[in-house]
Amino acid sequence: MKDVKVEDIAKDVNKIEEQELKAVQAKIQQINQAQMQVGGLEAQKSIALEVLKASQQELQALQKTLEDKYGKVSINLTDGTISDIEDEADKKD
């Protein structure tokens, strides 16, 4: 009986071809990069949502200040002119 060496067993182990291995590695790297990009975008989204919420709260406070000063009016955002807002009760009369 022939002596079996570890080197001989290692030669018999099935492997994918080098080109196939590189293709799999490249796809895994591509997936990892995409996941990192998605994570970065999610972080940017979170920050943008916080800015949006804060801006909306600041606008509401500004609107309240303007309403206290000018009453319930409509403000033209182009030139700043104000006009009275018709109440629903006024429209029925």
72 is a domain residue: yes
5 is a domain residue: no
Can you read off the two tokens belonging to residue 68?
A: 């206290």
Residue 88: per-residue pLDDT: 63
Residue 89: per-residue pLDDT: 61
75 is a domain residue: yes
6 is a domain residue: no
29 is a domain residue: yes
Q: Which domain holds residue 21?
A: 16-92
Q: How many domains, the chain?
A: 1
Please report, in tens digits, the pLDDT of each residue of the chain (93 residues total).
567 666 666 666 789 999 999 999 999 999 999 999 999 999 999 999 999 999 999 999 999 999 999 999 999 999 999 999 887 665 565
9 is a domain residue: no
Residue 14: per-residue pLDDT: 86
59 is a domain residue: yes
Helix or strand (DSSP H, E) at 83: strand 82-84
